[in-house]
Chain A
């Protein structure tokens, strides 16, 4: 099973809403990632978790709050987002965090902030 699942597929939220994105993998991977992708742009790294601990935060605004409850799950909590945060949010996982690791991406959540 090389699948990373993400829910929901689509999300529309107002600027005062609180919502969460969920990601799950059952490949036994110990590194998990959140990326943000705007149209016609490459994925931009937001956060990296390694062995359930936050390893990298790419200076992401605090309105995005990641959480890794266990080795299979990754959440991204959203609060007071701005319209410019509308994007495709991709989760990915790899065996470990390290050079040369293949990342497996989920299908993403398409977020629209009104």
Chain B
């Protein structure tokens, strides 16, 4: 089935430093979504990227979708303690037809921030 590899598994930064997590797929993705899960919380949808080469920004967060639609990244500028959590990329399979759409999650990157 569709799989996305996500790296790094863990990232510890000092508050104010930047952070990036990457997702890679061996096959073309129809789209990619990003979710954040705070410690003890549940996944919360952040954004969806659909177009080749797409870049979207949410305040200090920048999301990119690769030109070949096989990779994506989430970059946080000047991290804050509120950014702590696990960031997951997730994707749907890239095929037409059928109804067995299911969201597949990457393994996630746990971000910790030292104040």
Contacts and interface: CB of A to CB of B under 8 A. Distances in A.
Contact of A55 (B45, B100, B108): B100
Interface in A74-114: 88, 90, 97-108
Contact of B88 (A42, A90, A99, A106): A42
A56 interface: yes
B106 interface: yes
Interface residues of B, number: 25
Interface residues of A, number: 24
B103 A103 contact: yes
A97 B100 CA distance: 8
Contacts, number: 53
Contact of A43 (B94, B100, B101, B105): B105
B92 A90 contact: no
B99 A100 contact: no
Interface string B23-36: 00000001101000
A41 B30 CA distance: 24
Contacts of A32: none
B41 A56 contact: no
Contact of A105 (B43, B100, B107): B43
Given A42-B88, A45-B103, A48-B102, A100 B42 contact: no
